[in-house]
């Protein structure tokens, strides 16, 4: 696989965009054992992601979510149809169906690597951040975005909880760690712990100021929430469009 792994010869890493909801999915793998994990897959892009996994000769060990998404249907259930040995995983606190219910401190191994699970609720009760210490990366879901954060006005959201989660579980990582969000709406792909601690316009404020900012956002109701939430509580396998339910 030496020609597929890029400049970091000991890992496979792909950041993949679903452009309708501006969702980032992440494929990480050990090129020696071929074991792979796909983070936050989207159902519409499962054919693309499956092809990449097969083209690279990988074994998809886990398809995992950072939380129960409200803006798209997860691809984990569809991926399990494509890769029968693949296991789905999500936070136990989310109350969603999955093969593995994750909690604080759990580890997901793939080859010689592992992702550490950190509970980062606030956007939802079940938000988690996956930390890849060996490569100084963290996948923050909607808890922390580039110069922003997830909304807290629905789906068990709490501004106070989110503020505490980011400061205690993400900002406590080494300053050079690269952070990869679940979304970005301005074309940015990543940030660092130090950048966000210094420049995030919301989370650099006091907790009281942060709560006020979040309360005054007045965001519109998510377009996909009524379809996405019930589907994502059952691994994305609920009232699927015909093209997916027959696959």
What is the reported pLDDT for 122? 97
Q: Is the pTM of this model over 0.85?
A: yes
The model's pLDDT over 104-146, given as tens digits with 9 standing for 90+, comes to 999 999 999 999 999 999 999 999 999 999 999 999 999 999 9
Q: Give the chain's domains with CATH numbers.
A: 12-217 (3.60.15.10)
DSSP track, the chain: -TTTS-SSTT-EEEEEEETTTTEEEEEEE-TTT-EEEEES-BGGGHHHHHHHHHHTT-EEEEEE-SS--SSS-BSHHHHHHHSTT-EEEEEGGGT---SEEE-TT-EEEETTEEEEEEE--SSSTT-EEEEEGGGTEEEEETTSBTTB----SSTT--HHHHHHHIIIIITTS-TT-EEEESB-SSS---EEHHHHHHH-TTTTS-HHHHHHHHHT--PPPPTTHHHHHHHHTTTT-SS--HHHHT-
What is the reported pLDDT for 119? 98
């Amino acid at each position: 696989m030496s020609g597929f792994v890029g400049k970091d010869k000991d890992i496979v890493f792909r950041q993949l965009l679903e452009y309708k909801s501006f969702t980032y999915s992440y494929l990480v793998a050990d090129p020696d054992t071929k074991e792979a994990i796909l983070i936050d897959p989207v159902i519409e892009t499962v054919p693309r992601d499956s092809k990449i996994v097969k083209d690279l000769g990988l074994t998809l060990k886990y398809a995992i979510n950072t939380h129960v998404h409200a803006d798209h249907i997860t691809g984990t259930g569809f991926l399990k149809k494509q890769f029968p040995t693949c296991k789905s995983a999500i936070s136990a606190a989310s109350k969603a169906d999955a093969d593995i219910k994750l909690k604080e401190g759990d580890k997901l191994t793939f080859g010689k690597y592992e992702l550490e699970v950190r509970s980062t609720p606030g956007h939802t009760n079940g938000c988690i951040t996956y930390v890849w210490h060996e490569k100084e990366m963290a996948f923050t879901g909607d808890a922390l975005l580039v110069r922003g954060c997830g909304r807290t006005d629905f789906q068990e959201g709490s501004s106070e909880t989110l503020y505490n989660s980011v400061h205690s579980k993400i900002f406590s990582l080494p300053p050079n760690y690269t952070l990869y969000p679940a979304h970005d709406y301005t074309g940015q792909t990543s940030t660092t712990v130090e950048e966000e601690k210094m420049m995030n316009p919301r989370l650099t404020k006091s907790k009281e100021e942060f709560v006020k900012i979040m309360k005054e956002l007045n965001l519109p109701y998510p377009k996909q929430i009524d379809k996405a939430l019930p589907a994502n509580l059952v691994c994305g396998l609920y009232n699927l469009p015909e093209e997916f339910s027959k696959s």
